[in-house]
A = this chain, B = another copy of it.
Amino acid sequence: MRIADLGTPALILDRAVLARNCAAMAARMAGHGVRLRPHLKTAKSAEVAKLATAGQFGGITVSTLAEARYFAARGFRDITYAVGIVPAKLGEVAALERNGARLTLIADSAEAVAGAAERAGGLDSVFRLLIEVDTGGLRGGVLPESGELLDLGRAIEAAAGLALEGVLTHAGQSYDCRSVAEIRAVAEAERAGAALAARRLREAGLPCPVVSAGSTPTAVYAESLEGVTELRPGVYVFFDLDQVGIGACVIEDIAVSVLASVIGHNRRAGRVLIDAGALALSKDVSAGAFMSHVGYGLVCPAETTRPIDGLYVAEVHQEHGLIAAAEGAPPYDTLPIGSKVRILPNHACITAAAHGVYHVVDGGPEAIARWERANGW
């Protein structure tokens, strides 16, 4: 089926671009000599995971237990669940492990460690833990130079039901960078902080085989990854307008888009209406921090992902998107009612999450496959 014949709105994934993005990241990581543990919160798809882990050691990262269940059932056994663990989730972790998965969890507080240790006893399990380290993201994590780091390491090692695997950090602040130089500085802070935390644990006689870092911008621009054992970028598989704005990719690297139908022309307001709105595109406007006239996404002809000059989704309602032109009126005649367009998203992770399936193309206009997604929790 040609994508122009798909019902709308629909999520389109270009396998050719995806494969190129995966190969490029694999080459970067090989160049650094670090393992690539792709974060599959972006794709939530086993088919994408196969491409992202091709030629790699096979480990993956997830953000939900739903993803852990889904990927474990499809043969991805080495899973880092990179959201702070709470005791109530450990029953399901133990069940996944009994079925052959190997999960690694994260914690950044004595309370979380104590809770996991207690639950491990009740479940007769041993949980692998990474200590989350804050290298500037100001989200979760202890400081690499803190006494708390060593206290947590000792508490994990002392607990019968816990095993210390190492440290994990995520330089989320890389998303706020405004230049390659800034990204490089963040990447170095991420690397240095993770390496420092690992060294301090080891110097205290604690094990630290895993030193896990990474975000897509820092993975793309890191100059050194010395002391890091693995990186966990995620959105690089698809890229998006936000990553274009940050400078981590170019528009041609964006692998996902939303197919929409033109459903109306409002010439009084200077708008072309489409049937992709707040749900199909999301309300993410992150790329607007980097460029003007991007709104909820850039508009392309249905056959390509080359934006039509100046056209963007200026406004969204639940199932309506309103396309405007940066200057003057949008080209109503070339966007007749019933015609289709493709919208490049601000943030691929968030936009894709509204869709149950990918309609896969391979560089051309034919939809060659449907790939499922593991949404929800």
Interface residues of chain A, those whose CB is within 8 Å of chain B, are: 5, 7-10, 41, 63-65, 83-89, 92, 108-109, 111-112, 115, 134, 138-141, 143, 172, 261-266, 268-269, 271, 273, 275, 278-280, 282-284, 317-320, 322, 336-338, 349-350, 353-356, 375-377
Contacts and interface: CB of A to CB of B under 8 A. Distances in A.
Nearest to A349: B318
**How often does this chain occur in the complex, in copies?**
2
Contacts of A92: 7
A88 B284 contact: no
B266 A41 contact: no
A320 B279 contact: no
B7 A140 contact: no
B111 A336 contact: yes
B140 A279 contact: no
A109 B265 contact: yes
By Cβ-Cβ distance, the 8 closest A-B pairs, closest first, are A84-B263, A111-B337, A63-B319, A86-B338, A283-B283, A138-B269, A84-B264, A140-B264
A8 B86 CA distance: 10
Contacts of A376: 354-356
15 contacts: A7-B377, A8-B88, A41-B318, A41-B319, A86-B262, A112-B263, A134-B266, A138-B266, A139-B269, A139-B322, A140-B263, A283-B283, A318-B349, A355-B376, A356-B375
Contact of A266 (B10, B86, B139, B268): B139
B7 A317 contact: no
Nearest to A275: B83
Nearest to A282: B283
Contacts of A336: 111
Contact of A353 (B279, B284, B320): B279
Contacts of A280: 377
Contacts of A5: 88
A130 to B, nearest CB: 14
A192 to B, nearest CB: 18
B284 A278 contact: yes
Nearest to A111: B337
Given A86-B262, A86-B337, 11 more contacts: A7-B65, A8-B377, A41-B319, A83-B275, A86-B338, A88-B338, A109-B265, A115-B337, A140-B320, A143-B268, A356-B376
A109 B263 CA distance: 9
A132 to B, nearest CB: 8
Most chain B beta-carbon neighbours within 10 Å: one of A5, A84, A350: A84
Contact of A278 (B8, B134, B278, B350): B350
A83 B115 contact: no
A316 B115 CA distance: 25
A182 B26 CA distance: 57
B112 A264 contact: yes
Given A279-B350, A377-B10, A140 B337 contact: no
B337 A266 contact: no
A90 to B, nearest CB: 10
A87 B85 CA distance: 50
A115 B338 contact: yes
Contacts of A353: 279, 354
A83 B337 CA distance: 13
A264 to B, nearest CB: 5
A317 B139 contact: yes
